[in-house]
Structure 1
Amino acid sequence: MSDTITPADRPSNPYLVLASAVVLPGSGHVMLGLPARGLQFLFFMVILGWVTTKVAPPDASFIGRHAGGFLIYALSILDAYRIARIRHATWAHRTRPDGDGAGNGANADV
């Protein structure tokens, strides 16, 4: 393995992934290279949105009638952002200027 870091190795900006996930459900996962995970979230958004329309009272608001779908939508935003933050933090830790990658010297020979 080479120790050189190329710009292609840099992960997506977590805030860009967050904005993408908010604007279009599932797109944050696609940016992260996890399209199947994004599709799964979309599937469950539709299913739970449909289920809550059947269970909710007729006088409920739009949000109340589709609460299950909005719950999964919120969870997908959080999930995409969490994955992006972890990848970015891992990348930042590996590319530190001191170059040891050990953090606090835990792997240093004593």
Structure 2
Amino acid sequence: MSDGTATPAPINPYFVLGAAIVLPASGHVMLGVPARGLQFLFFMVILGWITTKIAPADASFIGRHAGGFLIYAFSILDAYRLARIRHAIWVHKARPDSDSADGTASPNI
């Protein structure tokens, strides 16, 4: 009874989150946007390098590479956000269209 328009389930957002935490840009690759992941990697390296040049000599490792860690955190959040949005859209489309905005049931024509 399927009309052939059902879309496959997207990748679990928590799996994307875990992959993005373990390996930078891997969450974006899993979502099919590797160019976005590569951009994040590029800016991680650039800002990490910049902060090593302007950080004091007695700063910790994280302090010396704070710019790279900041972009890394943004990358994790971005991959998870994209996965959650795709999953929410898929769930919304998978529900039958039984309720309309005014609360009446819409006919299936």
Give the TM bin, normalised by the shorter chain. Answer: 0.7 to 0.9
Within 1, Cα distance between the matches of 2:89 and 2:38? Answer: 25
Q: Which runs of 5+ in 1 are unaligned?
A: none
Q: Which runs of 5+ in 2 are unaligned?
A: none
Corresponding residue number in structure 2 for 1:106: 101
1:5 deviates by 1.7
Within 1, Cα distance between the matches of 2:90 and 2:101? Answer: 18
Aligned residues: 102
C-alpha RMSD of the superposition:
1.8
Query: What's the TM-score once normalised by structure 1's chain length?
Result: 0.86
1:3 deviates by 5.5
Query: What's the TM-score once normalised by structure 2's chain length?
Result: 0.87
Q: Deviations over 1:56-101 (max 9, x none)?
A: 00000000000000000000000000000000011001101xx118
Within 2, Cα distance between the matches of 1:43 and 1:83? Answer: 20
Corresponding residue number in structure 2 for 1:5: 6
Runs (4+) of structure 1 exceeding 4 A deviation are none
Structure showing greater Rg: 2
